[in-house]
Structure 1
Amino acid sequence: MGGSGKTLLVKKVFEGLKSSFDCSAWIPLSQSNKKDELLLTMMKRFFDSTREQIPQEFFTVSLVQLMDKLRGYLQDKRYLIVFDDLWSKDVWESIKYALPNKKHGRIIITTQRGDIAQFCSHNSSVSIFNLQPLSSDNAQELFYKRVFPLTNECPAGLVEWSRKLLNQCEGLPLGVVAIGNILSNTDKTADSWRKLHDSLGSELGTEGSLSSTLDVLSVSYNDLPYYLKYCLLYFSIFPEDYKIKRRKLIRLWVSEGLIKEVIGKSLEEVAEDHLTELIQRKLVLVNETDFDGRAKSCRLHHLLHKIILSKSHEENFCRVSKGPMMSLNERVRRLSMNKTCFNMFQKKFPRARSLFMFGMEMLTHSKLSFIKAASGDEGNMIQALGNMTQLRKLGITDLKEKDGKLLCLSIGNMNNLQSLDVSSINEDEFLDLNSMLNPPKLLQRLCFRGRLQEIPVWISSLHDLVRVRLKWSRLETSPIDALEDLPNLLELQLLDAYDGKDLVFRPGKFKTLEVLELASLNDLEVVKIEKGALSSLVKLVTKQCQRLKMFPRGIEKLSHLREFHLYDMPEKLVNGLQKNGGKFRHLVRHIPIISSYSLESSGYWKVKDLS
Structure 2
Amino acid sequence: MEAAYKAELLIDLTLVGYKCEDSLDAIARDINILKIEALEIQNGQIQRVNKTSIHIPSQLTAAIHNEDLVGLDDKVKSIIDRLRSGSKQLDFVPIVGMPGLGKTTLANKVYIADSVMSHFHVRGWCCVSQIYSMHSLLVQLLCSISSESPDKYLKNDENDLAENLRRVLLRRRYLLVLDDLWDVEAWNLLEKSLPNDANGSKILFTSRFQNLSSQFKPDSNPYHLLPLTDEESWTFDKKIHRMENSCPPTLSEVGFQIAKTCRGLPLTVVLVAGILATTAQDGWEEVAKCLSSIVLDNKDCKKTPELSYSHLPDYLKPCLLYFAAFQEDEVINVRRLLWLWIAEGMVQQTKGKSLEESAYDYLMALISRSLVVVTKQRTMGGAKGCQLHDLVHEYCVEKAKEESFLCVMHSSKDPFSLAGPSNHHRVRAHNIGELKIWELMLIFPNLRSLLLSGPDGGCYLTNEEELGILLPKLLRVLDLGKCIYVPMEVVSLVHLRYLRLSYLHLAGWPNGFIFPAENLEVSPNLDHLDTLNLAIDPSSQSLQKILAKLPSIRRLKCFGLHSGPRITFATRSCEEIFEFDSMRKLESLHLIQFEGYGFKFPLNLKKLTLSGNCQPRSEISTIGKLPNLEVLKLRSESFVGEEWVVKEGEFPKLRFLELSRLSIRNWTATSDNFCHLEKLVVCNCLKLEEVPACLAECLTLEMIEVKWCRESVANSVKQIQQEQMDSGNEVLKIIIKNYTNCS
Kindly provide the CA deviation profile for residues 317-354 of structure 1, in whole angstroms up to 9, marking residues without a partner as x. 22223445304754322111124443643416454221
1:235 positional shift = 0.4
Distance in 1 (alpha carbons) for counterparts of 2:369 and 2:349: 22
Identify if the C-alpha distance between structure 1 residues 228 and 567 changes in structure 2 by more than 3 Å, giving closer, same or farther. Answer: farther
CA contact (8 A) 1:319 1:332 kept: yes
Distance in 2 (alpha carbons) for counterparts of 1:423 and 1:483: 24
Distance in 1 (alpha carbons) for counterparts of 2:681 and 2:396: 39
Identify if the C-alpha distance between structure 1 residues 355 and 290 changes in structure 2 by more than 3 Å, giving closer, same or farther. Answer: same
Q: Tell me the residue number matched to 1:394.
A: 478
CA contact (8 A) 1:439 1:458 kept: no
Determine whether 1:525 maps to 2:612.
no
Kindly provide the CA deviation profile for residues 104-139 of structure 1, in whole angstroms up to 9, marking residues without a partner as x. xxxxxxxxx995979xxxxxxxxx733569989685
1:442 positional shift = 1.9
Q: Tell me the residue number matched to 2:69.
A: 129
CA contact (8 A) 2:348 2:355 kept: yes
SS for the counterpart of 2:585 is coil
Distance in 2 (alpha carbons) for counterparts of 1:236 and 1:344: 23
Distance in 1 (alpha carbons) for counterparts of 2:645 and 2:460: 39
Distance in 2 (alpha carbons) for counterparts of 1:33 and 1:390: 37
Kindly provide the CA deviation profile for residues 85-116 of structure 1, in whole angstroms up to 9, marking residues without a partner as x. xx9899xxxxxxxxxxxxxxxxxxxxxx9959
Using CA pairs under 8 Å that are at least 6 residues apart, name the structure with larger relative contact order, 1 or 2.
Answer: 2
| Among candidates 140, 144, 169, match of residue 96 of structure 2 | 140
Distance in 2 (alpha carbons) for counterparts of 1:426 and 1:314: 38
| Among candidates 491, 511, 526, match of residue 441 of structure 1 | 526
5+ long unaligned stretches in structure 1 = 1-30, 35-86, 91-112, 119-127, 144-156, 178-205
Kindly provide the CA deviation profile for residues 203-252 of structure 1, in whole angstroms up to 9, marking residues without a partner as x. xxx99985974442322222323333222111011122222222322332
RMSD: 5.2
SS for the counterpart of 2:392 is helix
Distance in 1 (alpha carbons) for counterparts of 2:308 and 2:501: 38
CA contact (8 A) 1:411 1:440 kept: no
1:300 positional shift = 1.5
SS for the counterpart of 2:322 is helix
CA contact (8 A) 2:555 2:588 kept: yes
CA contact (8 A) 2:342 2:356 kept: yes
CA contact (8 A) 2:374 2:386 kept: yes
Q: Which has the larger radius of gyration?
A: 1
Distance in 2 (alpha carbons) for counterparts of 1:448 and 1:441: 14
Distance in 2 (alpha carbons) for counterparts of 1:565 and 1:116: 27
CA contact (8 A) 1:423 1:449 kept: no
Identify if the C-alpha distance between structure 1 residues 515 and 334 changes in structure 2 by more than 3 Å, giving closer, same or farther. Answer: same
Structure 2 matches for 1:269-308, cutoff 5 A? 269-289=357-377, 294-308=382-396
CA contact (8 A) 2:405 2:426 kept: yes
Identify if the C-alpha distance between structure 1 residues 213 and 543 changes in structure 2 by more than 3 Å, giving closer, same or farther. Answer: same
Identify if the C-alpha distance between structure 1 residues 491 and 328 changes in structure 2 by more than 3 Å, giving closer, same or farther. Answer: farther
Distance in 1 (alpha carbons) for counterparts of 2:475 and 2:62: 37
CA contact (8 A) 1:319 1:335 kept: yes
5+ long unaligned stretches in structure 2 = 1-47, 80-92, 100-181, 187-204, 213-223, 228-261, 266-293, 570-574, 686-702, 707-716, 725-731, 733-743
SS for the counterpart of 1:257 is coil
1:541 positional shift = 1.0
Distance in 2 (alpha carbons) for counterparts of 1:483 and 1:330: 45
Distance in 2 (alpha carbons) for counterparts of 1:427 and 1:163: 37
| Among candidates 597, 601, 610, match of residue 681 of structure 2 | 597
Identify if the C-alpha distance between structure 1 residues 497 and 422 changes in structure 2 by more than 3 Å, giving closer, same or farther. Answer: farther
Structure 2 matches for 1:171-250, cutoff 5 A? 213-250=301-338
| Among candidates 690, 693, 705, match of residue 606 of structure 1 | 705
Determine whether 1:411 maps to 2:490.
yes
Determine whether 1:357 maps to 2:452.
yes
Kindly provide the CA deviation profile for residues 359-405 of structure 1, in whole angstroms up to 9, marking residues without a partner as x. 4xxxx4425xxx432xxx43247435x422211122345444xx56x
SS for the counterpart of 1:317 is coil
Structure 2 matches for 1:256-271, cutoff 5 A? 256-271=344-359
SS for the counterpart of 2:589 is strand
Instruction: Tell me how many residue pairs correspond in the alignment.
Output: 425
SS for the counterpart of 1:347 is helix
1:411 counterpart letter in structure 2: V
Identity over aligned residues, as a percent? 20
Q: Tell me the residue number matched to 1:325.
A: 415
1:355 positional shift = 0.7
Distance in 2 (alpha carbons) for counterparts of 1:320 and 1:238: 9
Distance in 1 (alpha carbons) for counterparts of 2:307 and 2:427: 27
Distance in 1 (alpha carbons) for counterparts of 2:383 and 2:477: 24
Q: Tell me the residue number matched to 2:404.
A: 316
1:379 counterpart letter in structure 2: E
2:660 counterpart letter in structure 1: D
Q: Tell me the residue number matched to 1:497.
A: 593
Determine whether 1:337 maps to 2:432.
no
2:316 counterpart letter in structure 1: L
Distance in 2 (alpha carbons) for counterparts of 1:348 and 1:514: 42
SS for the counterpart of 1:378 is coil
1:537 positional shift = 3.5
2:529 counterpart letter in structure 1: Q
Q: Tell me the residue number matched to 1:510.
A: 602
Distance in 2 (alpha carbons) for counterparts of 1:429 and 1:274: 41
SS for the counterpart of 2:593 is coil
Identify if the C-alpha distance between structure 1 residues 307 and 526 changes in structure 2 by more than 3 Å, giving closer, same or farther. Answer: same
Q: Tell me the residue number matched to 1:108.
A: none
Determine whether 1:366 maps to 2:457.
yes
1:356 positional shift = 0.9
SS for the counterpart of 1:372 is coil
| Among candidates 566, 580, 585, match of residue 484 of structure 1 | 580
Structure 2 matches for 1:424-439, cutoff 5 A? 424-426=503-505, 428-431=507-510, 432-433=514-515, 434-437=517-520, 438-439=523-524
Distance in 2 (alpha carbons) for counterparts of 1:114 and 1:565: 24
2:415 counterpart letter in structure 1: M
Distance in 1 (alpha carbons) for counterparts of 2:678 and 2:665: 13
Q: Tell me the residue number matched to 2:241.
A: none
1:487 positional shift = 4.1
Structure 1-normalised TM-score? 0.55
CA contact (8 A) 1:469 1:493 kept: yes
1:283 positional shift = 1.6
Determine whether 1:467 maps to 2:423.
no
CA contact (8 A) 1:115 1:281 kept: no
1:472 positional shift = 6.0
Distance in 1 (alpha carbons) for counterparts of 2:403 and 2:349: 24
2:554 counterpart letter in structure 1: V
Identify if the C-alpha distance between structure 1 residues 424 and 338 changes in structure 2 by more than 3 Å, giving closer, same or farther. Answer: closer
1:257 counterpart letter in structure 2: G
2:428 counterpart letter in structure 1: S
Structure 2-normalised TM-score? 0.47
